[in-house]
Amino acid sequence: MDANRAIRSPVIRNAFPHSQHSSFPFLFDRALVILAEIMASTSSFLPSWPADLAAKGWDQLDILIISGDAYVDHPAFGPALVARWLEHHGYRVGMIAQPRWDSIEDISRLGRPRLFVGVSAGNLDSMLNKLTAQKKVRSTDDYSPGGQPGLRPNRATVVYSNLCRQAFPGLPIILGGIEASLRRLAHYDYWSDSVRRSVLFDAKAHLLVFGMAERAIVQIAHRLNRGETVDQLTEIPGTAHPLGSPRQWKHLAEASSQRPGDGKPLLLPSFEEVRADKKAFARMARLAHAESSPYHARCLLQPHGDEAVWLNPPALPLKTEELDRLYRLPFCRAQHPSYEKPVPALATVRHSLAVVRGCFGGCAFCSIAEHEGRIVQSRSPDSILEEVRLLVKGKGFDGTLTDVGGPTANMYGLRCKNEALQRVCRRSSCLHPRVCRHLGTDAGPYLHVLRALRKVPGVRHVLVQSGIRLDLAERSPAFVQELAQFHTGGQLSVAPEHCQSHVLQAMRKPSIECYERFARIFDNASQRAGKKQYLIPYWVVGHPGDTLADVVELALYLQRHGLRPRQVQEFIPTPMSVATAMYYTGIDPSTGKPVAVERDLRRKRAMKSLLLYWDSKHWPMAREALVLAGRSELIGVLVPKGPRKRR
Ligand code: SF4
């Protein structure tokens, strides 16, 4: 819509009736011009304001999406992706991003939608977004305009859901996004150091969509649209729902069975049991992780007092052509023009390509498999090239594709070679403890895509910045050669994580020797390419199994190899990962054996300081760590004995 036309339009005049009676007509007219300009540029975004609805001539939305992130219309932003997918299926969808939570005014500004309201905390768990591993408040929020913190509430899923209930009594409330997905069962919450109920109960929502939502959310919309009630939507794969009284679930619990393959639901230890007994918690974690395949998972039932949560099996992964369709949707690939400041997370993804979904690595500290699934899904080369041609024509593209990846870049195009076996396979990782012989590990499809991207007119550099699996990469010297030659901007980040074999075993990561072999291959490849390039290895401290003594060994390893990390990560127990179950219980759920866990925040800071042994800022704490570890003899070896003398 043209701005001058918009200012005269009755839609805008009616939306702001007071301006016509104002004693400052000029100021109000100026404000209307600005509003009209915003409207002119927002016409391709989904409606966020009453005037957007009016401009489309809609009197009511079908579906309203509430998001804890700023509104960025880009496929890397989950709420926007789901909203566009629903729009593609014929629904009128609106988006309210980062609403105020002290009243229902913001959340209700587009009116009551016809079918349901979808609630997401955004791309990250709201507690992880807000607090660090040391439980300190983060100074920025990459998913907010200008990186401004404090624009979403703690436990945003629960807060928004409660607001929606007040604003739209009786309307179905559907939870989705990472926060809801990973808190679908009773779970350990690091930030409150407590076991919490399934988020369904705190949010008092009707349904929860876990994992990637496309299949489930469209089924929900279609069935509500056909006149079914939300209470009838009890068997959609990828959803969970509450059972509010013993009458609704006792008979299901009685019919349950602990034997896989008999088609009966599996009864998990109750919320009360897992809260009171760490062994019961570890058992719940083992059972829930074992039932995560969309091909053979059973329904899960977990009592919470008189209520219970029912989980259907995960939804089937999207096929290549479905993924392609998703990425072809008319995303603006921009933040909403009403924001004055840039949303930092957009800068990271603006000129990058997500080509793969899911991960079969099974790292213990990562919940990607619990959310995106273990079955890797890849887009077609045509779809990727189509997106690149759009990017090249778009505003601000300087010739560099900053990433071509996903959770693990070099899993693109890989799959289990034995489809029948995959349908019954119960391994939690195709790579750990060793690469499965049924896994296709040919890097050819990924190389094919990278080569095609390098030839696109207007593309000068194609970088790979997503993580790569070293145990896969070392099997393909051709891939490492091209990676070093064309796709590394001088530095390549890799994640060996640790050097101690029992710690890597607890993490379900490959051995340090694998990293060393890869480093040699990469170094040779860089030399052949005539380039001086470096690996930037990531190290983690405080993972279950990792003690102060192990970190001393890791620091000595780094020193021996001349490695001076600039950043060291502290393990954060996020909901639902295997490592979080270990952290909370001190038990490895898969073996039932005890695992050493460091919970003291100061000792964890000391661990981190040890790995930063070369930086004088960290020497006092590193010395303290060596004393605590009973390794005082290393003071003077790993770090100097005292502060540097001033000259
Ligand atoms: S059989 Fe092997 S490759 Fe196939 S799904 Fe199982 S672990 Fe993965």
Question: Does 416 contact ligand 1 (Cβ within 6 A)?
Answer: yes
Q: How far, in Å, CA of 385 to CA of 404, rounded?
A: 11
Q: Decide: 151 in ligand 1 pocket, CB within 6 A.
A: no
Tell me the pLDDT tens digit for each residue of 440-479: 999 999 999 999 999 999 999 999 999 999 999 999 999 9
**Gap from CA of 188 to ligand 1 centroid (Å):** 29
Residue with the two structure tokens 């469209």: 218
Are the beta carbons of 271 and 304 closer than 8 angstroms? yes
Can you tell me the distance from the alpha carbon of 87 to that of 83, in angstroms, rounded to the nearest whole number?
6
**Residue with CA nearest ligand 1 atom 6:** 425
Residues 124 and 243 occupy one common structural domain: no
Domain CATH number, residue 74: 3.40.50.280
pLDDT of residue 251: 86
Examine residue 554 and state whether it is found in any structural domain, yes or no: no
Is pLDDT above 90 for 157?
A: yes
Ligand 1 proximity of 390 Cβ (cutoff 6 Å): no
Closest approach atom of ligand 1 to CA 360: 8
The Å distance, Cα 26 to ligand 1 centre, comes to 69
In a domain, 375, yes or no: no
Q: Does one domain contain both 273 and 135?
A: no
Report the DSSP pairing between strands 187-189 and 334-335.
unpaired
252: pLDDT confidence band, cut at 50, 70 and 90?
confident
| Among 483, 485, 466, 474, residue whose Cα is nearest residue 431 | 474
Identify which of 292, 293, 374, 421 to mutate to test ligand 1's pocket (most ligand atoms within 8 A of the CB).
421
Q: 436, 441, 469, 471: which to mutate for ligand 1, most atoms within 8 A of CB?
A: 436
Q: Examine residue 428 and state whether it is found in any structural domain, yes or no.
A: no
For residues 170 and 146, state if they share a domain: yes
Concatenate the DSSP letters of all residues of 530-550 into one string. T---EEEEEEEES-TT--HHH
pLDDT above 60 (res 644):
no
Domain membership flag for residue 531: no
pLDDT at 253: 85
Task: Tell me: do 192 and 53 sit in the same domain.
Answer: yes
Q: Which atom of ligand 1 is nearest to the CA of 375?
A: 5
3 lines ligand 1 (CB under 6 A): no
Question: Does the pLDDT value for residue 43 go beyond 70?
Answer: no
For residue 426, which atom of ligand 1 is closest to its CA? 6
Instruction: Report whether residue 514 contacts ligand 1, using a CB cutoff of 6 Å.
Output: no
Q: Find out whether the beta carbon of 478 lies less than 6 Å from any atom of ligand 1.
A: no
Looking at the fold, whether 67 and 150 belong to one and the same domain comes out as yes
pLDDT of the residue at 52: 96
Distance 503 CA to ligand 1 centre (A): 24
Task: Report d(CA 343, CA 256) in Å as an integer.
Answer: 48
Nearest CA to ligand 1 atom 8: 430
pLDDT band with cut points at 50, 70 and 90 for residue 643: low
* Phi/psi at 14 (5° precision): -70, -30
Q: What is the pLDDT of residue 521?
A: 97
Q: At what angle do helices 619-628 and 601-611 cross, to 10 degrees?
A: 110
pLDDT (tens digit, 9 = 90+) per residue, 369-425? 888 999 999 999 999 999 999 999 988 999 999 999 999 999 999 999 999 999 999
Centre of ligand 1 to C-alpha 543, Å, is 26
Q: Which of 34-38, 132-136, 188-192 has the lowest mean pLDDT?
A: 34-38
Indicate whether 11 pLDDT > 50.
Answer: no
pLDDT tens digit sequence for 563-588: 999 989 999 999 999 999 999 999 99
Predicted pLDDT of residue 269:
97
Which residues, 6 or more positions from 227, have their beta carbon under 8 angstroms from its beta carbon? Answer: none
Angle between helices 477-486 and 444-454 (to 10 degrees): 20
User: For residue 356, which amino acid is it?
Assistant: V
490/503 Cα distance (integer angstroms): 30
User: For residue 24, what are the domain limits?
Assistant: 1-42
For residue 409, give both structure tokens.
Answer: 């870049």
Distance set, CA 485 to CA 137, 412, 464 (Å): 41, 19, 12
% pLDDT > 90, the chain? 87
| Residue 210 shares a structural domain with residue 113 | yes
Is 26's pLDDT higher than 50?
no
Q: Whose CA is nearest to atom 3 of ligand 1?
A: 439
Report the C-alpha gap between 392 and 355 in whole angstroms: 17
Q: Is 611 a residue whose pLDDT tops 50? A: yes
Give yes or no: residues 226 and 252 share one domain: no
pLDDT of residue 17: 36
pLDDT value for 258: 74
Q: How far apart are CA 415 and CA 393, in angstroms?
A: 33
Ligand 1 neighbour 253 (Cβ under 6 A): no
Q: Same domain for 36 and 64? A: no
Q: Supply the pLDDT for residue 497.
A: 97
Mean local confidence (pLDDT), 31-49: 61
For residue 23, pLDDT beyond 50: no
CA of 416 to the centre of ligand 1 (A): 5
Confidence of residue 264 (pLDDT cuts 50, 70, 90): confident
With bands split at pLDDT 50, 70 and 90, how would you rate the model's confidence at 526?
Answer: very high
Q: Counting atoms of ligand 1 from 1, which one is nearest the CA of 421?
A: 1
For ligand 1, the distance from its centroid to the CA atom of residue 369, given in whole angstroms, is 14
Write the single-letter amino acid at 642.
G
Residues 210 and 276 in one domain: no
> Which ligand 1 atom is at minimum distance from the Cα of 418?
4
**Model confidence pLDDT, tens digit, residues 338-366:** 999 999 999 999 999 999 999 999 999 99
Q: How confident is residue 249, by pLDDT bands cut at 50, 70 and 90?
A: confident
Integer CA distances (angstroms), 373 to 294, 409, 414, 601, in order: 8, 15, 14, 32
Residue 126: pLDDT band with limits 50, 70, 90: very high
Both tokens assigned to 198: 């399934």
Q: Which amino acid is at 74?
A: H
Question: Is residue 435 within 6 Å of ligand 1 at its C-beta?
Answer: no
pLDDT-derived band at 248 (thresholds 50, 70, 90) equals confident
What average pLDDT does this structure show over 520-541? 96
Residue at 159: amino acid letter: V
Q: How many domains does the chain have?
A: 3
CB–CB of 133/162 below 8 Å?
A: no
Judge if 69 and 26 occupy the same domain.
no
Peptide bond into 640 cis (omega under 30): no
Residues 207, 71: one domain? yes
Q: Which amino acid is at 114?
A: R
**What is the predicted pLDDT for the residue at 246?**
86
Quick check: 10 pLDDT over 70? Answer: no
Residue 20 has pLDDT above 50, yes or no: no
Q: Is 86 exposed, middle or buried (0-12, 13-18, 19+ CB in 10 A)?
A: buried
Determine the distance separating the centroid of ligand 1 and the alpha carbon of 178, expressed in angstroms.
26
Indicate which residue's Cα is closest to atom 5 of ligand 1.
422
Name the nearest CA neighbour of 98 among 42, 51, 141: 141
**Can you give the pLDDT at residue 353?**
97
Same domain? 94 vs 195: yes
